[in-house]
Chain A
Amino acid sequence: MAAQSSAYIAGAYEHPTREAPEKSTMQLHAEVARGALADAGLAKDDVDAYFTAGVPEYESGLSPLIMADYLGLEVSYADTTDYGGSSYISHVGHAVSAIRDGKCDVALITLAGRPRSRGQATGSGARSIRSAQDSFERIYGATNIGMYGMAAKRHMHEHGTTPEQLAEIRVAASHHAQYNEDAMFQEPVTVDDVVESRVVSDPLHLLDCCVISDGGGAVLVVSEDVRSRLERECVEVLGHGEAVGHHRAGRIDLTRTAAEQSGTRAFEEAGVGPEHVDYASVYDSFTITVLEAIEDLGFCEKGEGGTFVENGALKAPNGDLPFNTDGGGLCSNHPANRGGMTKVIEAVRQLRGEANEEVQVDADLALAHGTGGSIGTRHGAATVVLGGEDR
């Protein structure tokens, strides 16, 4: 079998806004699309594939049509995989497959949303009963933070993880956010600040939760042929894996996520292991989301995440596993309540040497991982392994 052709991220753009009361969600999609094209040095007419997971205000099944219409795109390929916040990491993998199959050469992926301006109680709001499944979950007041709280409590029970260890994750993220002028929360916090903040759903505190922000982001995945014509430094997509975790018919394990499978698949495709990763973007809806993912991705043994994050392992530039150097969803941005896109963008910045100076890692190999939906019921896990040009 001939070697598979490569695909590259040629453009990446994060909208600088965190609150956009005067703009429509579709306008934000257009602005990030334009930003990614400018970053890559490509023109709108070069785009021949479009990926998005939806416009929250609309039926998700309609969104690629609505958005292609609004953006004026002429495409030969479209994909609207919706795994919640991890969707955009899946889209990168799906775009690579489509490019390898010869279906397209320039794939645009966009995310945008305005939950902050819309006053959405994202993690802590009771939800209406709209399906049979809701009747077994939301009827009990199952909020996102309630479900992740149950995961954290079970993890603590099985492995002795402490609230202070979870707090270290926020501390590291805030250390990075102080250098990001666009971050929502730029003030560094201490372990005490986190564990003394208000308990929302025990054992999780307010500072264990991500921000709610308006905004968005876009990336462009291109073929080898297109890349060879570009002057911009590109990032190679070396591996991609995804998996769906769920109830398993009543055998749910709240301490494990489908990152076990998505990570293994991505590493296998890339031909590397967790020990080779210089920088990791790890989905951080809550601190516990990070803790379980770094175990499941193989950065440490199951149950040892708490010990791993102590003593600054996640802090850039010198920690063992520098993570979320933009401040992540915990401190900087969680546009549309979906953090997968910004995870890819910061990994691209790191590999291009364009992260904020104080947190720039000497990175040749990076990982971006998303956990979408809820680990308390069903979730999508998606992982990509990315390589820099000079590696």
Chain B
Amino acid sequence: MSWEPRPTPEITPETERYWSAAADGTLLVRECTDCGLVYHYPRALCPDCFSDDVEWKEASGEGTVYSYSATQSMSGWPEEDLPLVLAYVELEEGPRVMTNLECDPEDVEIGTRVTVRFKAVEDADAAVPVFVPRE
């Protein structure tokens, strides 16, 4: 499957590090050093305790499928990239992250173990994390 052109993320000061790490092939999550929460999507203040003592943590890139849905038709999305598998993957570190599964929908079910891949976008300073079933 190709995704050209893949939508380009809106990069902000709060999320710039996340996207640049993805461009380098690393998935980051946020970890609060005060309350210990590991969370997604990235925010400068911990959404549980409002501490700003939060760090970037390198995720393993491994997880399991929490849920998914294969979208058969979508206006505004390239026909050749359908069906599109929208999913929530539960990372080993805890957070459930919205993503795509880059595989035939028949090859996946809830609980399937998956691993991260990165899709290039027009902006070289970013890449989009997606997941594929683990070998």
Question: Is chain B a partner of chain A in the same complex?
Answer: yes
Interface residues of A (CB under 8 A from B): 121, 124-143, 145-147, 149-154, 157, 198-204, 247, 249-252, 254, 376-377
Among A147, A201, A250: residue with most chain B CB under 10 A: A250
20 additional A-B residue pairs with CB within 8 Å, beyond A150-B69, A201-B71, A250-B38: A121-B75, A121-B76, A126-B74, A129-B8, A132-B12, A134-B10, A136-B41, A136-B98, A141-B86, A142-B86, A150-B88, A153-B67, A153-B110, A154-B66, A157-B110, A198-B72, A249-B37, A249-B47, A249-B48, A377-B98
- Which of A134, A146, A157, A250 has a CB less than 8 Å from the CB of B86? A146
Please, which residues of chain A bring their CB within 8 A of the CB of B11? 135
Nearest chain A CB to B35's CB is how many angstroms away? 11
**Distance from B47 Cβ to chain A, minimum over Cβ atoms (Å):** 4
Residues of A within 8 Å of B98, CB to CB, are 136-137, 140, 142, 376-377
Q: Say yes or no: is B113 at the interface (Cβ < 8 Å to chain A).
A: no
Residues of B84-115 whose CB lies within 8 A of A: 84, 86-88, 94-100, 105, 110
A139:B74 contact, CB within 8 angstroms: no
* Pairwise interchain contact A250-B96, C-beta atoms closer than 8 A: yes
User: Is B9 on the interface with A (CB-CB < 8 A)?
Assistant: yes
> Which B residues between 1 and 57 are near A, CB-CB below 8 angstroms?
6-12, 14-15, 19, 37-41, 47-48
Task: Indicate if the CB atoms of B75 and A132 lie closer than 8 Å.
Answer: no
The contact sample of 6 A-B pairs, CB cut-off 8 A, is: A126-B7, A138-B7, A149-B69, A202-B70, A203-B69, A249-B37
Q: With an 8 A cutoff between CB atoms, is B68 at the interface?
A: yes
**A154, B97: Cβ atoms under 8 Å?**
no
CA distance A250 to B95 in the complex (A): 4
> Which B residues are closer than 8 A to A by beta carbons?
6-12, 14-15, 19, 37-41, 47-48, 66-77, 84, 86-88, 94-100, 105, 110, 128, 130
Counting chain B CB atoms within 10 Å of each CB, which of A127, A142, A203, A377 scores highest? A142
Contact B70 A139 (CB under 8 A): no
Decide if A129 touches B97 in the complex (CB within 8 Å).
Answer: no
Asked whether, in the complex, the Cβ of A251 is within 8 Å of the Cβ of B69, the reply is no
Q: Is the CB of B10 within 8 A of A129?
A: yes
Contacts of A143 in B (CB 8 A): 71, 74, 86
**Most chain A beta-carbon contacts within 10 A, residue among B7, B15, B37:** B7
Task: Give the distance in Å from the alpha carbon of A139 to the alpha carbon of B105 in the complex.
Answer: 19
CB atoms of B88 and A254 under 8 A apart: yes
B12 touches A250 (CB 8 A): no
Are B9 and A150 touching (Cβ within 8 A)?
no
Chain A, Cβ-Cβ closest to B126: A135
A247 to B66, CA, bound (A): 14
* B76 (CB) vs chain A CBs: closest residue: A126
